[in-house]
Amino acid sequence: MAKTLPGTTIAVDWNRPEEAETLLNSLFLAGGLMLSQVASLTGLEPYVIQNWVRRGFVAPPERKRYSRRQFSRIVLINMLKDSMQLDKICALLSYVNGELDDESDDLIDDFQLYLYIVRLAALVEHQPPSGPDEAARWCQTAAESYRESVPAPGPVARCLHVILTAYLAGRLKQEAEALLAALA
């Protein structure tokens, strides 16, 4: 049961979502990713990524290399862009991370936030939440029980709930488009 990590072209086995962290960490052993690698791993055109950097949605790369955090931010935006407007995505990420191009004011590392999403997506793959209340509980549990403690689990859980809801909306949109295509 292999699919791709949300917002990426990277295959993952949803029966072992914890392997995503190891896989993602291994990408950064050489000290970061070049723009072409980020584009390949996300399916985005390089100019889109550069535009997001120019607009302050992502911190600029250092020595032309994107860090794990920057990559995670790009992936989060990419994952959400089909179901949310870009300005709303940025407002959501600013809710937990202040200025988007300044990592010093972040409540949570973008990589850790993305790992929460991967784990929630794995739950969805096995059994979607029965409704918004269950989705909110999943997000609260994720924010409270992950390995490292989060300084502000409340805002992080609320942010996760929005992201999870947008992820589910994106999946429904894809499903509707497939059904529509089958009509033709």
Whole-number Å distance between alpha carbons of 31 and 183:
48
Question: Where is pLDDT greater, at 88 or 150?
Answer: 88
Cα separation, 151 vs 107, in Å, equals 7
> What pLDDT was estimated at residue 1?
42
Tell me the whole-structure pTM to 2 decimals: 0.89
| Cβ within 8 Å of residue 29, ≥6 positions away | none
Instruction: Looking at mean pLDDT, say which of 37-41, 53-57, 86-90, 164-168 comes out highest.
Output: 37-41
What average pLDDT is seen over the chain? 89
Residue 123 in tokens: 């739950």
Q: Residue 74 — pLDDT band, cuts 50, 70, 90?
A: very high
